[in-house]
Structure 1
Amino acid sequence: MLQQLTKRLLESALEGEITDHLGYDKHDPAGRGTGNSRNGTRSKTVLTDVGPVEIDVPRDRDASFEPKIVAKRQRRLDGVDEMVISLAAKGLTTGEISAHLAEVYGAEVSRQTISTITDKLIEGTVEWQNRPLDAVYPVIFIDAIHVKIRDGQVANRPIYVALAVTCEGRRDILGLWAGDGGEGAKYWLHVLTELKNRGVADVLMVVCDGLTGLPDAITTVWPQTITRTCVVHLLRNSFRYAGRQHWAAIAKTLKPVYTADRGRSPRAFRRVR
């Protein structure tokens, strides 16, 4: 998930850089006869905090474009993961994005360049956040992760994540939302309602944790949807009854239960017992 978002952020930033370098937007007639223009892209893989990310770096015809966020021959990029999450989850203001980019780029880049890059980032992020979704998804996984976000001061905030499996079997991140305080069913109702408003008419199954009130929020939005508790959360709840040194043995013992076919589940339970 973070690799996909990092790719989108980096490519948006690079598009902002080449726009500032050439002096006009992509497909803008103002670029005709300027002596230089865009010349496609080249693929490049960079190592980030979230793993390797393949990006398309824009080129210009006279090869004078020198990207800053991912410099030529640079293979390692650090410090963008928190910004990726915050930006995708609507957790940063325009001013905060500009300040973070100024930190990333350093003093060598002008304010106008930072402004151009910020506009491209916001444009790409808003387009991703509001894109239309499929009418039906077989499965949607929902959960919240907690990350440190600077909002005056650094604080842990929940980032609500919705990950779907499409009818073609592909995984698709439907969205991220930055909440305040702890994870709550009331905010999940807001998230699910937004998904429905973006076109999700029905979901066969929603997989979630055991948060109180969450099944009711799901059925409020999609009355016929089946709610199932995530196996990982079930395992974690089981681990609480034993010491850490026994967790591996418990996980191995429980596997025949949650992987058993419905017709053979009683035998699996007897074998485990």
Structure 2
Amino acid sequence: MNRKMLKEIISNMDMDVVKELDEYGKNKLATLMEGLLIEIMGKERYEYLLENPEDKGNGTYKRSLNTGLGKLNLDVPRTRSGNFRSHLLPPKYQRYDESFEDLIFSFLINGDSKQEIVHKMKLRGLDFSEKAYDEIFEYIKTQMLEFKSKELQENYYFLYIYAYHCMVKDEKDKRVKRAVVYTVVGIDTNAQKTLLGYYSFFGSENRSTWMEVFQDLINRGMKRVLMFICDDFNGISEAIRAFFPYSDIQKCTVHASRNVYKHMKKEDASYVNKKLKEIKYSCDTFEKGIEIFKTEIIDRFKDQYKTYTKYLDSRKEELLAFLKYPEVIRKYINSTNTVESVHSSFEKQRLKKGGFFQSMDILNVALFIATDKLHKTWNVNPLIKAKRYELNQMFVAKFGKGVEE
């Protein structure tokens, strides 16, 4: 086994599997790793001395290395000049490798508190203190801030936006307060689904904070979006149009179907949802969908439900905007399900944290770790990719330039 192979084994080690090993299994694996590391470091020194005959070997020195398996005790080879250093070792003065960080990340994902993580690490025989926890927590925060400030592409086909509501302890007055997380998921012009950002605020969802979100997206480089998919939060359409005046807006059809039952008798609501389903799956064009919506829903119930049908009439173009797009991709762009799947991972974090997050920092770090893991499972949507030509033509018609310009 060469050095490259061993480094790949260490970097690809499945920490979820390691966590499930019993103590005997961990000890056996740790002993094996110690032997492999010592042997390969010895060969590294041998190769170094062949290339540097003026230098001489000078025995070994003891060094411990914290890993996800526990503490490894190593005999590290050295030379008289002190110029030799094994490539397997982490940077000088760092006593842990990447698998050690991954183990801590996994504890954070599971909702463990600082004290619980310190206790579990010490049970594994690892040199770990609350100070070390704080250092790694700050490291994760730095990665999170880099993600949040990452430059964006100029053009996107679709943006899914939605707000997640939770409770967070305010470190200033130690009170648990309402908080909201605004999440943005994009489908770029290569049909790749990407988490573009999440933004946390104390308080309730409102138009002004959505406008802060859109301003940040623009500051990071975004310029044009074919269509936004969102719920029908009051003021969201106006906020979108203030920054992206030429974009289509699609209101979530799933939410719309649920809301019908809040405003109409059950029998009438069932009829409306049946018609909405027919429009969704049977209409060839946007214009045809609008016509059926107007005659079969608005006109039919306008006398019985005057206020609600007036509301539906004002929203019809935003409820049916997905009909402007190729038929095979409509099921992906008529609801906020894409971003709500992200929020389900947020909700798991909330439950693991005891129903609320201990601080805004803990909220942001927990969500960053959870979404980073989720994000790695996302792939290019093949059906959207197959319709890139049509979507690019829509881009030209809407913005006067192609996606590559």
Q: Note whether the superposition's TM-score is higher than 0.5.
A: yes
Higher helix share: 2
* Contact 2:118 2:129 survives alignment (8 Å): no
- Summarize the Cα distance change of 1:180–1:268 in structure 2 as closer, same or farther, 3 Å threshold: same
CA deviation map 1:10-60 (0-9, x unaligned) = xxxxxxxxxxxxxxxxxxxxxxxxxxxx9340242749xxxxxxxxxxx99
Aligned AA for 1:42? N
The structure that has the greater radius of gyration is: 2
Counterpart CA distance in 2 for 1:184 and 1:82 is 29
In structure 2, the partner of 1:227 is 249
Mapped pair 1:261 → 2:284: yes
For the residue of structure 2 that corresponds to 1:200, the secondary structure is coil
Task: Give how far 1:184 is off.
Answer: 0.4
- Summarize the Cα distance change of 1:242–1:216 in structure 2 as closer, same or farther, 3 Å threshold: closer
Mapped pair 1:181 → 2:188: no
Task: Give how far 1:127 is off.
Answer: 1.2
Structure 1's consecutive aligned runs of 4 or more residues displaced over 4 angstroms after TM superposition are 242-253, 266-273
In structure 1, the partner of 2:61 is none
Counterpart CA distance in 2 for 1:115 and 1:244 is 55
Match of 2:117 among 64, 87, 104: 104
Task: Give how far 1:78 is off.
Answer: 7.1
Q: Percent identity?
A: 21
What is the CA RMSD across the aligned residues, in angstroms?
A: 3.9
Counterpart CA distance in 1 for 2:250 and 2:290 is 20
Counterpart CA distance in 2 for 1:249 and 1:233 is 16
Match of 2:158 among 139, 155, 174: 139
Q: How many residues align?
A: 205
In structure 2, the partner of 1:148 is 167
Instruction: Spell out the pairing of 1:81-100 with structure 2 (5 A cutoff).
Output: 100=113
For the residue of structure 1 that corresponds to 2:133, the secondary structure is helix
In structure 1, the partner of 2:67 is 66
Task: Give how far 1:254 is off.
Answer: 3.2
Task: Give how far 1:255 is off.
Answer: 2.0
In structure 1, the partner of 2:109 is 80
Higher strand share: 1
Aligned AA for 1:195? L
Aligned AA for 2:114? L
Aligned AA for 1:239? Y
Aligned AA for 1:208? C
Match of 1:42 among 9, 12, 15: 12
Counterpart CA distance in 2 for 1:248 and 1:42 is 52
* Structure 1 unmatched runs, 5+: 1-37, 48-58, 84-99
- Summarize the Cα distance change of 1:266–1:226 in structure 2 as closer, same or farther, 3 Å threshold: closer
Q: Relative to structure 2, which stretch is displaced further, 199-208 or 101-110? A: 101-110
* Structure 2 unmatched runs, 5+: 1-5, 18-32, 39-64, 71-98, 123-127, 301-405
With normalisation by structure 1, the TM-score equals: 0.61
In structure 2, the partner of 1:25 is none
For the residue of structure 2 that corresponds to 1:175, the secondary structure is strand
CA deviation map 1:93-139 (0-9, x unaligned) = xxxxxxx4344333733133213312321121111111111101111
* Contact 2:184 2:197 survives alignment (8 Å): yes
Aligned AA for 2:145? V
* Contact 2:114 2:130 survives alignment (8 Å): no
With normalisation by structure 2, the TM-score equals: 0.43
* Contact 1:82 1:149 survives alignment (8 Å): no
Task: Give how far 1:220 is off.
Answer: 1.3
Task: Give how far 1:246 is off.
Answer: 10
